Amino acid sequence: MRQKNDKLDTVHRKRLPWYHAPPFLLFWVLLVFAIVIPLFNRLPDIVKVKDEPSKPGEFVAERAQQLLYSYDRIGPKVVGSIANEVTTVSFLLEALEKVRIDMRKDLYDLELDVQQVSGAYVLNSMVNMYQGIQNVVVKLSTRSSNSSSYLLVNSHFDSKPGSPGTGDDGIMVVVMLEVLRQMAISPTVFEHPIVFLFNGAEENPLQASHGFITQHKWATNCKALINLDVGGSGGRDILFQSGPDHPWLMKYYKQNAIHPFATTLAEEIFQSGMLPSDTDFRIFRDFGHVPGLDMAQIKNGYVYHTAFDNFAVIPGRSVQSTGENVLALVRAFTNASEMLNPQDHSEGHSVFFDFLGLFLVYYTETTGIILNCCVAVISLVLVAVSLWRIARVSQRSLNRVLIDFVIILALCIVGYLLCIGLSLLMAVIFDAGDRSLTYFSNNWLVFGLYICPGVIGLALPLTLYYSLRPCNEISHSYQLQMGLHSHCVILAVVAIILTSIGIRSTYLCMISLIFYEAALLINLLSTLHDRGLRWVIFVGVLQMLPFLYICYLFYTFLVVFFPMMGRNGTTTNPDIMIALVCALGTLLALGFVAPLINIFRWPKLILLGLCLVTFVFCMIAVSSIGFPYRAKTSAMRITILHTRRTFYDYDGSLSVNDSGYYFDYQDRRTYLPFVDSVDLTGLDGVSSYCDKYVMCGLPCFWNSWCGARAHAGWLPRADEVILPGTVTLDLQAKTILPSGKTVRFEFELNGPHHMNLYIQPLEDVELEGWSFISDIPTRLPYHIYFSYGSDNSSLKFHIDFNVSNGSDNFNRPIFELGVVGQYVSNDYNRDNVTLDFLNSFPDFVYVMEWTSYFQRFVF
């Protein structure tokens, strides 16, 4: 019997020749390039106007592109500018009139309203106040329908300063226009009316949607939402938010979306606040309690919010893809019975994900909890059966097998830590050497910089163990299986823990477990489990599907994160985020694959080869190839406000009267990439001024800027900045209120269409109330962001302060008030000194800029 077992061990110890290892590893890389990336980039062909007679009812991208070209020609569309408030509104009205002409008037009614709205709300500790903001709102309804439940479809037509916004959000504007046209000419009627909201102030931020949902006459009838936005310029539209608490929305998306692209993981990441972005979906959800779908194109985020976001970079096939999806969803929702009373169908969150864009999987959160737990428990049971089988066939005690398994399990955990740790270490080293963002333009560098170290860390502990363990113990084949079992057990435990705390993205663990369970069950039932390395066949084949999906998912996130790291600010190392995404993707995609390098002889040579690949990529990254930025395609971003400052003390004397450039750095490298090209003599940080002046003496635009103000830069200039307009603040009255402890200051403010107020109470003074809004944020200094569109009337407001010791203490400094006029749009001229300064920047730098005027008063 012993002789028979020795022969069995000899078979089990047999490994494949080492030269089979490179093809094995390259096979998995080939899967990514042959399947994942092509399917990620797959887009439908354009439907042209001439094809319409043969394709009735289909979305016609060519017509939408014609509208997009006209939209692009308008140029930047900043709130308050002529381009936004007059030209673009006229463009929309003209396009809508053409729809009215083509409409089936015997079947449909079309109502049009240009809303001008004013209001305020608190956004991230900032009072977001608006006046005369414009919305172009259209309602299309079937004459024969009496439904009072409306579907709301939203996009925005305004843009960031300097950007025509052709991608963000011009694509969605023209998609809505073409969808409206197709619905209006269709011979097939629908039940529920559709409200198409073309909102004029999303970038401002989110003001127009707030004005609509809180004040428009049709808002209370809107029962479901399709929100359309863009985080780049092209690609497919990803569904990254759903609901909340309305799984029926996903049911309709699954049944009707022609090009499904969605994941719960994107929803949970976006709603965690990790990303420097937001959409109107938040406003409709929080202020209108309207459930819906939030969709956005995400590819080519490098041009997002820049002058390069123009018609030339918009793929027509992307317009077709999004248009087909939106048109199909609109048709479905306008006939959905759930629209009559959506609250009756509020059943919790849902879990959803598409597989390579081929089909969508969706189920309720409750189903997900049951599924995750069942799959995890079955995995643990199958592993237990396998360990018992190993002990029985090997004629080793079960305790001996369990001891080996525990050792391997511990080494597997060490491998996880090394996988993540080595990738993060690379990120830290490159950042310490001022080499962050080397992958920004050449994304393929992350393969050697972060993925290879992750694979090395994942496989190293078990590889060393298998090489050094005693040969007279449990066979090598069984040891390898126990390595995979360890990964299975860890995934199962993690799945149970994450499910218990409500993480719906646990489905990622569940997918990997299901396919490993299937392979393990087949191997156990077929006895391949005990016949050398033959069990590897089913494990490898069945792991291809979860590998493809996980690579597809994490490739999606890298496509989003790569350009986003160029506007992630200076305080955090962006490489940490990219390294973490690569490491987690490596761990999940290759957790059942990387240990299989030990089926080959000399596996340590394989790891050495990966080390060599990492070294070569590091050398490439620190060369000129690793310089992050390229002109137009992947430019460096920086925001510069050419600023004039006048600071007045309590006695009215002028303590500061200067001009300079306020640098709001967008990425980790701050000003270093252009320090040799631009005269930055005198550029300094402002942190030392933060205790001396309100808002550090900087005209920060809104809350995200103000939160990073201590890391900004100030470059003085000798020539005074020439202001293109005036900002006037008049103190109308100072009144002691009847309580005797409160003093009221009444003001009137006039200036450009974007202004800021910073209010800083002084010692022993508290803000008691004001006229802006009933809510008072908790963060100091208080920040009021004010903008107007078509209504430029003066802002009249009052502020009440409670002063210790009452009226005996009113004749002293009570508060510091900063008043900023932001001349944001192209309607305002820049002075020649500023233009010369801006022209000195290299072509790989994109500067978002405007003139600002900061006045500080002490009252």
807 band by pLDDT with thresholds 50, 70 and 90: low
Measured CA to CA, the distance from residue 283 to residue 647 in angstroms comes to: 37
Amino acid letter at 771?
A: S
Are the CB atoms for 780 and 760 separated by under 8 Å? yes
pLDDT score for 279: 94
Higher pLDDT pick, 469 / 743: 743
DSSP code of residue 16: B
Measured CA to CA, the distance from residue 714 to residue 642 in angstroms comes to: 10
Which of helix, strand or coil describes residue 271? Answer: helix
As a CATH number, domain 49-348 is 3.40.630.10
472 band by pLDDT with thresholds 50, 70 and 90: low
Q: What is the mean pLDDT of residues 33-46?
A: 97
**Cα angle for residues 241, 246, 251 (degrees, 5° grid):** 85
Give Cα separations from 657 to 714, 718, 823, 851, 855 (angstroms): 14, 11, 19, 16, 9
Measured CA to CA, the distance from residue 97 to residue 113 in angstroms comes to: 12
pLDDT score for 810: 85
Q: What is the mean pLDDT of residues 376-390?
A: 96
Interval 763-805: pLDDT, tens:
989 999 999 999 899 899 999 999 999 999 999 999 999 988 7
pLDDT score for 1: 42
- 169: preceding bond cis by omega (within 30 degrees): yes
5 band by pLDDT with thresholds 50, 70 and 90: very low
Q: What is the mean pLDDT of residues 145-151?
A: 96
Q: Which residues, listed in sequence order, are joined to residue 121 by a DSSP beta bridge? A: 128
Is pLDDT at 11 greater than 80 in this prediction? no
pLDDT score for 607: 95
Q: What is the mean pLDDT of residues 410-428?
A: 97
Which of helix, strand or coil describes residue 14? Answer: coil
Give Cα separations from 694 to 137, 643, 703 (angstroms): 40, 16, 14
Is pLDDT at 391 greater than 70 in this prediction? yes
**pLDDT averaged over the chain?**
94
Is pLDDT at 833 greater than 50 in this prediction? yes
Lowest mean pLDDT, pick from 99-108, 267-276, 550-559: 267-276
Interval 311-344: pLDDT, tens:
999 999 999 999 999 999 999 999 999 999 988 8
What are the DSSP calls for 33-47, one per residue?
Answer: IIIIHHHHT--PPPP
Structure tokens at 425: 């270490």
Q: What is the mean pLDDT of residues 75-100?
A: 98
Are the CB atoms for 820 and 806 separated by under 8 Å? no
Which residues have C-beta within 8 Å of that of residue 94, sequence separation ≥ 6?
none
Measured CA to CA, the distance from residue 477 to residue 472 in angstroms comes to: 13
Which residues have C-beta within 8 Å of that of residue 710, sequence separation ≥ 6?
685, 686, 687, 690, 696
Is pLDDT at 9 greater than 70 in this prediction? no
Structure tokens at 513: 């477990």
pLDDT score for 811: 87
**Cα angle for residues 151, 155, 157 (degrees, 5° grid):** 145
Lowest mean pLDDT, pick from 20-34, 113-127, 265-279, 344-358: 265-279
Residues of CATH 3.40.630.10 domain(s) within the chain?
49-348
Q: What is the mean pLDDT of residues 646-670?
A: 96
Rounded to a whole number, what is the distance in angstroms from the first to the last CA of the chain? Answer: 98
Measured CA to CA, the distance from residue 65 to residue 342 in angstroms comes to: 35
Amino acid letter at 783?
A: H
Amino acid letter at 273?
A: G
Measured CA to CA, the distance from residue 242 to residue 329 in angstroms comes to: 14
Considering the entire predicted model, what is its pTM? 0.94
704 band by pLDDT with thresholds 50, 70 and 90: confident
Interval 632-643: pLDDT, tens:
999 999 999 999
pLDDT score for 470: 64
The values of phi and psi at residue 768, to 5°, are: -100, -30
Contacts for 214-221 with beta carbons within 8 Å, 24 or more apart?
A: 214/119, 214/287, 214/288, 215/115, 215/117, 215/119, 216/113, 216/115, 216/117, 216/135, 216/137, 217/113, 218/137, 218/139, 218/150, 219/288, 221/148, 221/149, 221/150, 221/193, 221/195
Are the CB atoms for 387 and 511 separated by under 8 Å? no
Of 350, 354, 209, nearest to 278 (Cα)?
209
Is pLDDT at 529 greater than 80 in this prediction? yes
Amino acid letter at 36?
A: V
278 band by pLDDT with thresholds 50, 70 and 90: confident
Give Cα separations from 682 to 210, 717, 837 (angstroms): 43, 9, 14
Are the CB atoms for 353 and 259 separated by under 8 Å? no
Are the CB atoms for 313 and 167 separated by under 8 Å? yes
Is pLDDT at 12 greater than 60 in this prediction? no
- pLDDT > 90 fraction of the chain, expressed in percent and rounded: 90
Is pLDDT at 204 greater than 60 in this prediction? yes
Give Cα separations from 450 to 299, 320, 480, 729 (angstroms): 22, 35, 25, 54
pLDDT score for 251: 95
Alpha-helix residue ranges (DSSP H) falling in 272-315: 281-288
